[in-house]
Homo-oligomer: A and B are copies of this chain.
Amino acid sequence: MIKTISDISRMAGVAKSTVSRYLNGGPVSEKTRRKIEHIIKEQNYVPNTFAQSLKAKKTNFIGTVVPRLDSFATSQTLIGIDEALRSNHYQMLISNTSQDMDREIEAIYDFARQKISGIILLAAQVTEAHLTAIKQIDIPVILVGQKNDQIHSLIHDDKQAGRLMGRHVLSKGHRKIVYLGVTEKDEAVGIRRKEGIEEALAACPDCEASYLETSFKMSDAVLTASRLLEETRPSIIVCATDNIALGVIKAAHLKGIRIPEELSVTGFGGYDITEIIHPALTTVKYHYYEAGKKAADNIIQLVNEKPVDKLTLMDVELIERESVDNLLSNPLL
């Protein structure tokens, strides 16, 4: 049923090596070229990639390890990766780990077993186990979203994002501020973003700022915010992610608190949905799609043993919308 290179060579009356040369753009006379071309078309022949890979000792697969598939950030990053990979004739392989760190490690070894050429790792944390695995497999790896001295990394400028947001909040006259953050185990989101905020708020001695922690889940944010709003009433809640902001807005709605008149809210990420909800959310936009493209470009460079900066930093951008009240122009306050 399925034709091999031998079948084609026999039918064309040439040697296997000649067919192989034709396939790989080697020197073939015009006459044999036409003969082979014809037979291949006619037989609908496609080379067996496994045999090819077995010989060539490498594949055109790039593996991507993602903690979850159902997140805006992941989707956009993957689309960017896929786009760049495809135009360079690489194939993207995705391994979803469902936030299970053991599965991340496993995925790395699995990819190695499949002789993929490079790995793009979207991880929230980098542990010793990650480092060991990466060292052992001896395959180029790019870490996206987090930074590690021992691995090529691509990150969004979280600290700058925090600064931009912090300054913006101050510029709108907010003085009683709650920052709703996440675990410090996630260095980028839990530490860097917060540092940026703190740095900006340090410029305001008379500010009353407090820091709280919740999880990445919207539903948890709803609960945390509900409790918070019962005890105190800040003028603004600065949330570590857009999802958390969505949860806070929900909690406010449930309590009948109007946004932004009675409470301002902001996020980080720039998810599509933040523009659609009402009021539209003020946030810092991350360029996930571009980050994916860049990560893919970088891994291709590494695979081909070309130099790549140890650290790539992606710009961020404040998007001012409706969820932040301007207290300075409000004569009532």
Contact = CB atoms under 8 A, between A and B. Distances in A.
Contact of A46 (B44, B69, B82, B109): B109
Interface stretch (A50-58, A162-170, A173-181): A50-58
B113 A46 contact: yes
A226 interface: no
Interface of A: 1, 44, 46-51, 53-54, 59, 69-70, 72, 75-76, 78-79, 82, 91-94, 96, 98, 109-110, 112-115, 136, 138, 218, 222, 246-247, 249-250, 253, 272-273, 276-278
Contacts of A114: 49, 91
Contact of A136 (B44, B70, B92, B94): B44
A112 to B, nearest CB: 7
Stoichiometry, as copies per complex, reads: 2
Contacts of A96: 78-79, 82
Contact of A113 (B47, B54, B98, B246): B47
Given A46-B112, A114-B49, A273-B273, A75 B79 contact: no
A83 to B, nearest CB: 8
A247 B275 CA distance: 10
Contacts of A70: 72, 75-76, 79, 272
Contact of A69 (B1, B75, B253): B75
| Across the A-B interface, the 9 shortest Cβ-Cβ residue pairs | A253-B278, A70-B75, A46-B113, A50-B53, A50-B54, A50-B50, A69-B75, A49-B114, A82-B96
A70 B73 CA distance: 9
A109 to B, nearest CB: 7
A218 B69 CA distance: 21
Contacts of A253: 278
Contacts of A79: 69-70, 96, 98
9 contacts: A48-B54, A50-B51, A50-B115, A51-B54, A69-B78, A70-B72, A70-B79, A249-B276, A253-B278
